[in-house]
Structure 1
Amino acid sequence: MKIKSCWFKSVKSPTKRNSFILLNFLFCAVLTSCAIYTPKPLTDLEINNALAITRAESVNQQLSKSNIEPIDFNKPLTARQVGVLSVITNPGLKALRAKNQIAEAQVFDAGLLPDPVIMPAYEIPTTTGNGVTPAYSLWLNWDIGSLATRSLKKSAAKEQQKQISYDVAWQEWLIANQAELLATRLYYLNQQHKVIEDNQGILKNYLDEASPYLATHNLSPIDYNQQKANYIDIVDQDKSIERLIQKTNFELLKTIGLPPAAKISLASDYIEPSSLSNESELFKYAKKSRLDILALEAGYNNQEIQVRQAVLGQYPHFTMSMYPGQDNTSNGYFGFNVAFDLPTFNRNQGTIAIALATRENLYLEYISRLHNIRSDISSISSEITWATKQKTIMNSQMEGLRKTDVMLKQEVNSHNVTLPYYINFHYGLANKEVRLLSLQQDLAEQYIAMQITTGKYLNESQTKNK
C-alpha cells in the first residue's frame, strides 16, 4: 500500500503529470503509425485469375503508359509485336518486377533515422525508513554513430535499386528478343513446310497416277521406285518439320505467357534488316547502353560505397544516452553519457577485406562481360557476313533454276520431256528452296542474336503486316 501511494503522489505533481501525459501521447502515436497486417492466402480463385490470358485492353493500356503504339489483335502479329507482347504477359517478368518494389522499400528503409530506445526503470525499496521512497528513471538511448553513415547507406540503396531496375529491364529485353526469334523461326518453318507439302502433293499424285502403268509394264520400275523413294524421303521431312513447328509454337506460347492450347496468328511477311554498322561502333554502343552492363556498373558503384562504409567502420562507433530520474531519497537528477567502442583488436579489418575482395570480383566480372560482348559481336558479324554471301549465291542460282522448272513443265505438257524427268528436277529444286529458306532463317536469327548482344534494335521496321 505504501508503494502504491508513493506512485500516485509522484503522478500528482505537475511536472510528473505532464511527463505521464507525454508518455501516453507518444505511446498512442506509435500505435496509430504502425503498419497493419493483411493476409494474402493462395486461393484457387486468385491463382486461376493470375493464370488467365491477359485481355487485349489491359495490354494496350500498359503499352500506352510506355508511349508504345497499341497492338491491333484483330490482325496477325509481327515478330516485333510478339516480342513487345511477351514483355507484358510473361509470368516470369511479372515476378521479377516485384523486385523493383523491394528495392524501393530498401531505399526508403535506408533513409529512415534510427529509432531511439527508451528504457523506463522503477525501483521499489526493500527496506523501510524515514525518507526512503521508490526510485525511477527514464533512459533514452540513440545510436548517433549510424547517422554518420546514413547518407552512404541511402546512396548504396539507390545504386542497388538502379542495379535491380536494369537487371529487370535486361530480362525484359531478353524475353522480347526470344519471343521475336521464335516468331521469326516459326515464320520460316511454315514457309519450308509449305514448299515440302507442295512437293509431297506432286509426288503423291504422280505415284497414284503411275501405279496402273507399272502393272501393265508401260512404266519403267526404275523411274517409279526412284519417285517412291523421293516420296518416302519427303514424307519424313514433312513429319520432322511439323514436329519442329509444334515444338517452336509451344515455346513461343510459353515465352509470351499463353496456355499451350492458345492460338496466335503471325504475320505472313518478313522484311530483312538493313546492313550492320561496323563492329567497333556496335561494341561502343553495347558498352554504353546494354542494360546488363549498366546493372553491373550500378552494382560496382554500390560496392564502392560498401568499401567506404567498411573503412569508416574501423573508427569508434558512438551511442548517446540521456536519463532523467529520481533516487530513493526523492532527489531528482538528469544524466548524460556517450558510449563508444575501442578499435583495438578487430578494427573492422575482416569486413574491409571482404568488401575489397568483392569489389575486385565485380571489376573483373565487368571486364569479362565486355570481353565476351566484343567476341560475340565479332563472331555473329562473321556468321552474318558468311550467310549473306551464301544467300546471294543461292539466290543467283535459284533464279535460273526456277525459270528452268517453268520451261520443263511446259515441255512436259508438249510431250517433249518425260514426267519423271521433270519431277526429279522439281524435287531437287524444292530441296534447294528449303535450304534457301533455312539459310534465310539462320540469317534472321543471327540478326536477332546481334540485337541481343548489342542491346539495340537493328531495324525499327524489321517486321510489318502484309
Structure 2
Amino acid sequence: MHRCRIARSGRRLAPAARLVRGVSALALALLAGCATYRPLPLPSGDGARSVGQLSAPLSARAWLPAHRFDPADGLDVTELAILAVANNPDLRSRRDALGVARAQAFAAGLLPDPQLGLAADFPRSNAADLTTAYSAGISADLGALLTRSTRVAAARSQAQQVNLELLWAEWQTVAQARLLFDQVTTLQARQLRLQHERDALAPLAAQVQTALRAGNLTHDAASAGLNALADVRHRLDDTTVALHQAVADLHGLLGLAPAAPIDLVGPPWQADPSPASVQRALDALPQRRPDLLALQAGYASQEASLRGAIRAQFPAISLGFNTARDTSAVYTHGVTLGITLPLFDRNRGNIAIATATRQQLRDDYAARVLATRTDIRRLTDDLATLTRAAAAQDRHARALAQARRAAEAGWRLGELDWPTYLTIRANALGADLDRLDLRQRRATASIALGALLGSTDLTPASARADTP
C-alpha cells in the first residue's frame, strides 16, 4: 500500500501539508481586507458659541432655496430655517440613522460565507502501516439564495423609508423654526409695548403715592392707580419669562450654546393659500408628502418581508463537498446534502407575524391620510376665521390707540380725571395685546397648514408692524 511521507525542503508536499498551507494563505488574504477599529471620543455637547460658527450647506437638500446667507446682519426667517435644517442636533442623529439603514441594506445583499471544516486524527500506535488521517470539507447554505432578493428589496425600501422620514423631519424643523421666529418676535413686540406702558404709568403711580401719603386720597380711591402699574409689571414679567423659554427653544433648535446671541430681523413667515391651491395640495398629498411616502415605503418593505417569509417555508438546503484520508492512507471524496423537513414549523409563525404587520401598516397609512385631510380642513377654516378676527382687531386697536392719545392730551391739560384716563389706557393696552395674540395665533395656524400641505416655500410674508 502506498503511503505519503511528509515532504522536506525541495520535495513534493503531502496533501495534508498542501491543504494546511493553502488554508493559511487564504486566511492571511482574508485578514488583509478586514476592517480595523478606530476610537471615536464623545463630544463635549456645548454647542456652537455663536451663529457665525454654524454651517449652512445647501447641497444636501435640493428643496432648500438659494438664499443670501449673512449672519452678520441678523437672521431672517429664511436664514433661520436653513440653519435649523443644517445644524439641528436631532436631524443629525436622524442622518446617522439613515447611514445605519443604508448599511443594513448593504448587509442584506451579502451572501453568507461558506463554512470550511478541517479535522485530523493521529493514530496512537506506532505501527509502520498507519498514517495521520484528515478530512476537509466546504459547505454553503443554499436557502440564503432563495430569500436574498426579498431581503434586499425589504432593506432598500426600509432605507428609503428612513430617508423620507428624515426629509419629513426636516420639513417639520423648518416649520418649527418659522414658529419660534414668530413667537420670539411677537413676544419681543409684546415686551416692548408693556415697557412703554410701564414707563407711561410710572409718573402717575408716583403722583398717586404722593397724594396717598399726603392724605389727599383714600386707599380705595388710590387702588386703581396702584393696581394699574402693578398689573402691567406682572404682565411684563410673564412675557419676559415666556420670551426666555422661546429663545432657549431656538438655541436648542439650532444647536447653539445657551449664551450665544441671536438677532432676528425681518417679518415672520405667513401663508394665505387659496381654496383651489389647498384642494390641489390635498389631491397630491400621497405623491408629495414625505411622511406619507415614508409609510408607503415601509409598506413596500413589509410586502417584501412577507414574500421572504413565504419563500422561507420551503425546505432549507445546504450543499457541501469534502475530501478525506483515513489512517490506512485511503482517500475518499464526497458530497453532503442537508434538507430541513417541513413537518412542524414550516415558518408559519413568521408568515403570520408578517401578514399581521402588513395589515397594521396598511391601516396606519389610511388613518394618517384621513387625519391629515381632517387637520387641513380644520386649519383652513381656522385660518379664515383668524384672518377676519385679526383684521377686525387691528381696526379696534387703532381706534383705541387714537382714544389713548386723546386721553393723554386731556390728562396733561387737566381736563380728564385719572381713573377715566387709566381706564382708557387699560382698554388700549388690552386691545394691542389682543392684536398681537391674534396675529400669533393666525401665524401658528398658517405655519401648521403650510407644514401639512407640504409647503417648502421659505419666503416670508410682507412686512407687518407689530408695535402699536
Give the TM-score normalised by structure 2.
0.87
Q: Which residue of 2 aligns with 1:28?
A: 28
Q: Which residue of 2 aligns with 1:435?
A: 434
Distance 2:70 2:462 in 1: 15
Q: Secondary structure at the match of 2:334?
A: strand
Matched, 1:388 2:387: yes
Amino acid at match of 2:148: R
Amino acid at match of 1:346: D
8 Å Cα contact 2:4-2:14 kept in structure 1: no
Q: Determine what percentage of the aligned residue pairs are the same residue.
A: 25
Amino acid at match of 2:46: L
Distance 1:57 1:214 in 2: 55
Q: Which residue of 2 aligns with 1:62?
A: 57
Give matches, 1:62-461, under 5 Å.
Answer: 62-63=57-58, 66=61, 68-69=66-67, 71-127=69-125, 129=127, 131-209=129-207, 211-212=209-210, 224-270=222-268, 272-277=270-275, 279-412=278-411, 417-418=416-417, 421-457=420-456, 460-461=459-460
8 Å Cα contact 2:184-2:243 kept in structure 1: yes
Distance 2:149 2:339 in 1: 21
376-385 or 157-166, which deviates more: 376-385
8 Å Cα contact 1:187-1:268 kept in structure 2: no
Distance 2:18 2:127 in 1: 29
8 Å Cα contact 1:405-1:425 kept in structure 2: yes
417-426 or 379-388, which deviates more: 417-426
Q: 1:174 to 1:316 in 2, by over 3 A?
A: same
Give 1:179 shift.
2.8
8 Å Cα contact 2:205-2:226 kept in structure 1: yes
231-240 or 412-421, which deviates more: 412-421
Kindly indicate which of the two structures has a greater share of residues assigned to helix: 1
8 Å Cα contact 1:134-1:327 kept in structure 2: yes
Give 1:128 shift.
5.6
Q: Secondary structure at the match of 1:62?
A: coil
8 Å Cα contact 1:316-1:342 kept in structure 2: yes
8 Å Cα contact 2:181-2:268 kept in structure 1: no
Q: Secondary structure at the match of 2:73?
A: coil
8 Å Cα contact 1:321-1:336 kept in structure 2: yes
334-343 or 346-355, which deviates more: 334-343
Distance 2:236 2:317 in 1: 77
Q: Which residue of 2 aligns with 1:53?
A: 48
8 Å Cα contact 2:55-2:87 kept in structure 1: no
Q: 1:9 to 1:324 in 2, by over 3 A?
A: farther
Q: 1:271 to 1:325 in 2, by over 3 A?
A: closer
Q: 1:376 to 1:11 in 2, by over 3 A?
A: farther
133-142 or 4-13, which deviates more: 4-13
Distance 1:137 1:9 in 2: 22
Distance 2:133 2:150 in 1: 42
Q: Which residue of 2 aligns with 1:40?
A: 40
Q: Secondary structure at the match of 1:328?
A: coil
Q: 1:58 to 1:141 in 2, by over 3 A?
A: farther
8 Å Cα contact 1:271-1:464 kept in structure 2: no
Give 1:357 shift.
0.8
Distance 1:14 1:121 in 2: 18
Give 1:355 shift.
0.8
Amino acid at match of 1:344: L
Q: 1:270 to 1:87 in 2, by over 3 A?
A: closer
Give 1:191 shift.
1.0
8 Å Cα contact 1:373-1:453 kept in structure 2: yes
8 Å Cα contact 2:396-2:431 kept in structure 1: no
Distance 1:463 1:120 in 2: 78
Q: Secondary structure at the match of 2:329?
A: coil
Give 1:275 shift.
3.2
Q: Deviations over 1:336-368 (max 9, x none)?
A: 232211212211111111111111111111111
Distance 1:151 1:57 in 2: 48
Amino acid at match of 1:62: P
Distance 1:429 1:248 in 2: 26
Q: Deviations over 1:178-221 (max 9, x none)?
A: 23212211111111121122122111122324555666787898
Q: Secondary structure at the match of 2:313?
A: coil
Distance 1:144 1:75 in 2: 65
Give 1:82 shift.
2.0
CA RMSD of aligned residues (A): 3.1
Distance 1:192 1:461 in 2: 21
8 Å Cα contact 2:6-2:13 kept in structure 1: no
8 Å Cα contact 1:114-1:146 kept in structure 2: yes
Amino acid at match of 1:77: L
Q: 1:372 to 1:160 in 2, by over 3 A?
A: same
89-98 or 57-66, which deviates more: 57-66
Q: Secondary structure at the match of 1:319?
A: strand
Q: Deviations over 1:135-169 (max 9, x none)?
A: 22210111122112222211111111111222222
Distance 1:433 1:324 in 2: 93
Distance 1:52 1:241 in 2: 27
8 Å Cα contact 1:64-1:70 kept in structure 2: no
